[in-house]
Every structure is written in C-alpha cells, then in structure tokens.
Amino acid sequence: MEIVIVPDAATGGELIARAIAELLTDKPDALLGVATGSTPLPVYRALKSRVEAGTLDASRARICQLDEYVGLPEGHPESYRAVVLREVVEPLGLTEASFLGPDGAAADIAAACAAYDRALAEAGGVDLQLLGIGTDGHIGFNEPCSSLASRTRIKTLTHQTREDNARFFDNLDEVPHHVITQGIGTILEARHLVLLATGEAKAEAVALAVEGPVAAVVPASALQLHPHATVVVDEAAASRLRLAGYFRETYAAKPAWQSI
Ligand code: F6R
C-alpha cells in the first residue's frame, strides 16, 4: 500500500486526476468507480479542468457508482445517482449511457444488489476505484464489522454516518437509514484502489486503516489486502500516522516515471 501525504485537498485532487488521466490514455474506455460525499470533489474538479483545457479525452470513459441510498424518491437531488451524474458524468461530457449504478428504488433490493455485482463483472471489472473514508473507518458504506468478503448488499448506516451526512439534507430525519453498497469483497476486485482522505476528522480512521491490523471493525483496513492500493492524505488527515516520516521519504524518492 502506498501512502502519499499532500499539502492540501486540491493537490490530492490533482494527483489522483493525473493518475486517472494516465489510465484513460492507456485505456480510453476504462471503468472508473467513483465515490460521493465531499472528499472526492477536488478530483472531479481537476478532471473537469483537464477536459475543458483539452488535455484529457474522457469521452469513452465509463463511470460506476460505489453506493446508493435506499428509499429516496427517484430523481432526489441527493440520491447518489443524481450526485454522480451532476458531479462527474455531466462535467466530463458523458451521458447516462456511460454510467452504471445500483437501483436504490428497486422493489427487490436483494435482486438489485446481485444484478449490480453481475453488471460490474460483465463490464470487465472496475479499473480504478476512488474511495473516501468515513469517520468510523467505512469504505463505500461498509460500516464497522462488515465482512471483508462481502458483496454488494443492503447495509444500515450507523448513527455517526447519518449525522455526518445530515449536512446534505434539511435535517437528520431525512437521511435514509439504508444503503446499497458495493461489498468489501466487491471493492477489492477493482484493479487499483485510490482512497483520498482530507481533514483532521479523518485522522484517526486513516491511522487505524493504514497502520492498524486488518480488521472488519475498521473496514478501510481491507485495503492492506489489495496489491495496488494508494492512500492519498492531506497533512491534517495524516496527523496521526506514526510512519508519516517514512511515507514522505518514500514518496519523495519515487522514480519520476512511476505513477501512483
Ligand atoms: C460515499 C462513500 C462514503 C464516503 C465517506 C466520506 O459514496 O462511499 O464512504 O466516501 O462517507 O464522506 P465525505 O467525503 O463526505 O467525508
């Protein structure tokens, strides 16, 4: 696992956008797994700037969703489908045709989850999965004690996660209790995992995920099992890393030709 400490969120966004641009140069129709929430926004802004400047051709990229609320009315502006379309698909000049996501409004949620895992496999698998991390260590919405082998399924959000996400709704009561999330086993099948964490509130979760034991109680620690996982953290999110000095030295000494 590579840990890259960057001065701020914008630098992290640029770094990850560069890796995505390199991937799309090698494989123009790469399947990019995207997260929602606040953390990945600098990545999406950096990608949009590249597309607008003509330095990135994302026209054949395919985008897939990590998770989705269950029970929001179709078209709700905070459904993750709506967020991904607004923040990623449209700014990159793509259409819904290039987009894959689970159906959070399905009558049969279990079938919708199984169908989404199948759709990801049939699409050839995720090439690069962008992840955030919850203050409780979740990835996707795999809350603490999710099976490390889990597949896409329904999960119940913790009170802490619902409080964290209440800022996107009028009040806490409006935050759904349930989500569909790619399982940890599903996430680990992506070819490259890139987790971005910014801000002091993520420092403890990052330290546990990176330097603690692999444990279901810290779902993000599953990244330690992946052969190509990159954790990009700003100074605040890195503030509890015991090995921060080593991570800085390693990245500074990295050969120029080697991407994340
Ligand atoms: C959202 C997701 C979550 C978020 C996490 C952090 O699709 O998968 O794991 O990445 O809750 O959210 P922010 O970035 O808003 O702090």
In short, whether 101's Cβ falls inside 6 Å of ligand 1 is: no
Q: What is the pTM of this model?
A: 0.98
**Confidence (pLDDT) at 75:** 85
Q: CA-CA distance, 58 to 25, in Å (whole number)?
A: 9
Angle 145-185-199 from CA coordinates, rounded to 5°: 60
**Confidence (pLDDT) at 216:** 98
Question: Which residue from 66, 162, 204, 231 has its CB within 8 A of the most atoms of ligand 1, so it is best to mutate?
Answer: 66
In short, whether 67's Cβ falls inside 6 Å of ligand 1 is: yes
Per-residue pLDDT of the chain (260 residues; tens, 9 = 90+): 999 999 999 999 999 999 999 999 999 999 999 999 999 999 999 999 999 999 999 999 999 999 999 999 888 999 999 999 999 999 999 999 999 999 999 999 999 999 999 999 999 999 999 999 999 999 999 999 999 999 999 999 999 999 999 999 999 999 999 999 999 999 999 999 999 999 999 999 999 999 999 999 999 999 999 999 999 999 999 999 999 999 999 999 999 888 89
Q: In this structure, which residue's CA is closest to atom 3 in ligand 1?
A: 140
> Residue 79 burial by CB count (10 A; 0-12/13-18/19+): exposed, middle or buried?
buried
Whether 178 is catalytic is: no
Whether 200 is catalytic is: no
Active-site annotation holder among 117, 136, 164, 234: 136
In short, whether 219's Cβ falls inside 6 Å of ligand 1 is: no
Q: In this structure, which residue's CA is closest to atom 14 in ligand 1?
A: 39
Q: Quick check: 144 and 218 in contact, CB under 8 A?
A: yes
Q: CA-CA distance, 134 to 113, in Å (whole number)?
A: 22
Q: Which atom of ligand 1 is nearest to the CA of 132?
A: 10
In short, whether 137's Cβ falls inside 6 Å of ligand 1 is: no
In short, whether 42's Cβ falls inside 6 Å of ligand 1 is: no
Walk me through the domains of the chain, giving residue ranges and CATH numbers: 2-252 (3.40.50.1360)
Can you read off the two tokens belonging to residue 109? 């949620």
Strands (E), the chain: 2-6, 31-34, 62-65, 67-69, 99-100, 128-131, 153-156, 178-181, 192-197, 229-234
Question: What are the CA-CA distances from residue 191 to residues 27, 81, 198 (Å)?
Answer: 13, 23, 23
Q: CA-CA distance, 20 to 3, in Å (whole number)?
A: 17
Whether 138 is catalytic is: yes
Q: CA-CA distance, 223 to 239, in Å (whole number)?
A: 19
Can you read off the two tokens belonging to residue 205? 């979760």
Count of H-run helices and E-run strands, the chain: 8, 10
Question: Which residue from 16, 38, 39 has its CB within 8 A of the most atoms of ligand 1, so it is best to mutate?
Answer: 39
Whether 228 is catalytic is: no
